[in-house]
Amino acid sequence: MSVATRVIPCLDVAAGRVVKGVNFLNLRDAGDPVELAKRYYEQGADEVTFLDVTATVEDRATMYETVTATAEQVFIPLTVGGGVRSADDVGRLLGFGADKVGVNSAAIARPELLGEIADRFGAQVLVLSLDVKRSERTPSGFVVTTHGGRTETDLDALAWAREAIERGAGELLVNSIDADGTKQGFDLEMVAAMRELSTVPMIASGGAGALEHFAPAIQAGADAVLAASVFHNAELTVGQVKDALRAEGVMVR
């Protein structure tokens, strides 16, 4: 049975406001997260992803009030990431209204965290968030970064994704730092490489700028497509993206 492709708006939040930059730099205000999430829900979004982009950088926990306010108005799965360091943090976020929780830096620092979260809450709750850059330093040609792409690790992105799935990650959110905010299209080579190894659903992120960018990401192997600025700037609606996918023979909800 084939599963419908999901279209997921992403809200990058800093200090309680939605922000957007290019390659994670020069962040500018893009609106109120609760209002935007509600707009996307009404447009037919399948999920909303909510990333506290400065949580790890500023060493601060995700803003729980915004999560709760969003969950009260948006009746689709809500994934929340940013500043998650322990299974207790995950429990707290789920209590405040999140359905899934994204983990990135803390899992790199201590991979055992993935198993702890999956054992306690189930793999379906755990999303491994990967910020990936092209690099000649790793065998696959892709390296994992942290702190919004500012810090390169020594981890090969494909090897880390494989390990994370083995440890209990139930979904991969794969963001191309190179493509992020450029609106030149998804990194299809990266998507295809991740698809080859992944036994769990994969969300492609980074680079969406036009309707014709979405179907190729699904054809390359993504189960869902995520975008931010094209939705925040009202250049595209969720419905338009779904129509464009349908026109290319992609099944959507």
d(CA 38, CA 32): 10
* Distance of alpha carbon 62 from alpha carbon 37, whole angstroms: 17
Find how far residue 77's CA is from the centre of its chain.
13
Distances (CA, A) of 51 to 18, 67, 109, 242: 9, 10, 19, 23
Q: Which of 46, 52, 131, 187 is catalytic?
A: 131
CA dist 238 and 225 (Å) reads: 11
Active site residue 29: no
Instruction: Kindly report each contact of residues 38-41 with a partner whose C-beta sits within 8 Å and lies 24 or more positions away, as own/partner.
Output: 38/70, 38/73, 38/74, 40/9, 40/74, 40/231, 40/238, 41/73, 41/74, 41/75, 41/76
Q: Does residue 131 have an active-site annotation?
A: yes
For the annotated catalytic residues, the residue numbers are 12, 131
